[in-house]
């Protein structure tokens, strides 16, 4: 068993901050690039980053389970594209919060599986967590209806749903013995393919020094955060990591107010609070039902 040390909380805190900074860069870059272009360039930087890191660590990127990576890439990249689209049209903290609904969706999947398997009783606490999460969504999405941002709001919500599916696949890859760098590498390749197809169909926007700088920052911030988060879940405690991960919402809220003049409403704050509570409760209940080992502690933020 790998030792648990103080490094894991700091890794998770740093990952949450870097993901929030990435979201800031995505919002700025969305005025110049489409969501598909952002996914492509983020994936290009990420793939080069991981190849270099794998060479330094001596990690092979060859896989024996390409089919598993295919499905993980498909769900993860679709979730990422929808999330980038949502960030471009919503207040920053709202878009980030909707993507963090993945833990609540995971709880809903667990309830559905319990019912389908004919279990005698569904955990009422898990049901309450799911209902609390969706009550939070109703609060968070209410302003989007008033500001004609419905499609962006729905995209953010669906991104969290598909991210939960990707989480299941990341967990399966961990159990198959795939190291985090290999998982991140094939995810980046999937982003290159899907982003490239988007660009071929929709066209490509021109570059500027500001645009290239933002694209580079998005790729570096996202990949560094992803590696840090995966490592934190490998060596740390699930609930502690989940709690610190939700600081990403706090960071995004602060950045949104300071950099984009996002409005501060009691309804949005209440919704974010409910979603965080629901996500933490759902994570706690799931962690009690699963062994807490390195093969099952994959990060619930697979993008």
Token couple for 211: 């645009």
User: Which residues, 6 or more positions from 281, have their beta carbon under 8 angstroms from its beta carbon?
Assistant: 125, 128, 129, 132
How large is the angle between the packed helices 180-202 and 66-89, nearest 10 degrees?
60
Are residues 93 and 270 in contact, defined by beta-carbon separation less than 8 angstroms? no
* Lookup result for tokens 């009690």: 288
Dist CA 20 CA 225 (whole Å): 10
Asked if residues 182 and 226 have their Cβ atoms less than 8 Å apart, the reply is: no
pLDDT at res. 288: 65
Q: What is the pLDDT of residue 301?
A: 55
Tokens of 22: 């990435």
Name the residue among 174, 245, 181 with its Cα closest to residue 9.
Answer: 245
> CB-based burial of residue 124 (10 Å sphere; 0-12 exposed, 13-18 middle, 19+ buried)?
exposed
**Per-residue pLDDT at 212:** 96
The predicted structure's pLDDT at residue 2: 47
CA-wise closest residue to 140 among 104, 103, 106, 91 = 91
Residue 81's alpha-carbon distances to 39, 44, 48, 134, 191, in angstroms, are 6, 14, 20, 22, 9
Position 232 scores a pLDDT of 80
- pLDDT tens digits in sequence order for the chain, 303 residues long: 444 445 878 888 999 999 999 999 999 999 999 999 999 999 999 999 999 999 999 989 999 999 999 999 999 999 999 999 999 988 898 899 888 888 788 777 777 776 676 665 767 777 888 888 888 888 887 765 556 678 888 898 899 889 888 878 887 888 888 888 898 899 999 999 999 999 999 888 999 999 999 999 999 999 899 888 877 877 777 777 777 888 888 899 899 999 999 887 888 888 888 888 888 887 777 666 655 444 444 455 546
Q: Please give the C-alpha separations between residue 38 and each of 46, 58, 87, 128, in angstroms, as whole numbers.
A: 12, 29, 12, 37
pLDDT value for 78: 93
Structural contact between residues 61 and 257, judged by C-beta atoms closer than 8 angstroms: no
CA-closest candidate to residue 137, choices 279, 252, 254, 33: 279
The answer to whether 301 touches 245, Cβ cutoff 8 Å, is yes
d(CA 166, CA 74): 8
Predicted model pTM: 0.86
């Amino acid at each position: 068993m790998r030792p648990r040390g103080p490094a894991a909380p700091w890794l998770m805190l740093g990952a949450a901050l870097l993901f929030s900074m990435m979201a800031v860069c995505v919002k700025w870059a969305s005025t110049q690039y489409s969501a598909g272009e952002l996914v492509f360039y983020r994936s290009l930087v990420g793939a080069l980053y991981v190849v270099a890191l794998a060479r330094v660590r001596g990690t092979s990127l060859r896989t024996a389970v390409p089919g598993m990576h295919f499905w993980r890439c498909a769900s993860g990249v679709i979730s990422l594209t929808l999330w980038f689209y949502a960030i471009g049209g919503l207040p920053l903290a709202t878009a980030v919060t909707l993507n963090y609904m993945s833990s609540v969706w995971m709880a809903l999947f667990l309830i559905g599986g319990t019912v389908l398997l004919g279990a005698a009783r569904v955990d009422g606490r898990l049901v309450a967590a799911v209902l609390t999460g969706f009550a939070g969504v109703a609060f968070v999405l209410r302003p989007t209806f008033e500001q004609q941002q419905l499609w962006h709001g729905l995209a953010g919500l669906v991104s969290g749903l598909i991210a939960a599916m990707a989480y299941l696949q990341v967990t399966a890859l961990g159990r198959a013995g795939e190291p985090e760098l290999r998982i991140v590498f094939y995810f980046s390749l999937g982003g290159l393919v899907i982003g490239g197809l988007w660009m071929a169909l929709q066209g490509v926007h021109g570059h500027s020094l500001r645009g290239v700088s933002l694209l580079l920052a998005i790729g570096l911030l996202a990949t560094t955060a992803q590696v840090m988060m995966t490592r934190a879940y490998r060596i740390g405690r699930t609930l502690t990591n989940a709690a610190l991960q939700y600081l990403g919402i706090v960071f995004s809220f602060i950045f949104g107010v300071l950099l984009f003049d996002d409005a501060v409403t009691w309804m949005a704050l209440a919704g974010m609070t409910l979603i965080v509570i629901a996500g933490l409760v759902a994570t706690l209940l799931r962690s009690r039902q699963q062994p807490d080992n390195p093969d099952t502690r994959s990060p619930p933020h697979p993008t």
